Amino acid sequence: MAQRAQSLADKVRNLTPAELHARESEQSEQLFKLKFQLKMGQSESLKKLREMRKEIARIKTVAREKELGIARTAVAEAPAKKTSRKKTEKK
C-alpha cells in the first residue's frame, strides 16, 4: 500500500502547476459527488472516499511545495527508526 501511495505521489510531482490545479478541481468534484451518493444511500464506498481525500491532500501538498520552491526527490527516504524509551517513574 505504501508503494502505491508513493507511486501516486511521484506521478503528482511530475505535473505542472496548471495540471495540478485542474486535477485538484476534478478530484474535488468527484469527492462532492461521492459524498452526495453516500448521503442519499446510493453508495457505501468509504474506502474510495478516504482515498480521494488523500489524493487531494497529496495534490495540495505538491502544489504548495512547488509554490515555495521546495524540491523533493522521487526516491523515498527510509523513515527514521523510533527508539524505545523506558518510562521513568515519578516519585
**Which pLDDT value is given to residue 89?**
57
32 vs 86: CA distance, rounded Å: 46
* Overall number of domains in the chain: 1
Q: 37 pLDDT exceeds 60?
A: yes
CATH code, domain with 39? 1.10.287.310
Q: Quick check: is 88 in a domain? A: no
Q: Quick check: is 43 in a domain? A: yes
Q: Quick check: is 81 in a domain? A: no
Q: Quick check: is 30 in a domain? A: yes
Q: Quick check: is 56 in a domain? A: yes
Question: What's the mean pLDDT in 12-32?
Answer: 93
Amino acid type, 69: G
Straight-line distance from the first to the last Cα atom of the chain, in angstroms, rounded to the nearest whole number = 45
Q: Tell me the residue range of the domain where 10 lies.
A: 2-68
Exposure b/e, 30-64, CB count within 10 A at least 16 = b = ebeebeeeeeeeeeeeeeebeebeebbebbeebbe
Long-range contacts of 1-7 (CB under 8 A, 24+ apart): 5/54, 6/76
pTM (two decimals): 0.68
> How does pLDDT run across 41-91, given as a tens digit for each residue?
887 788 899 999 999 999 999 999 998 988 765 544 545 556 666 666 555
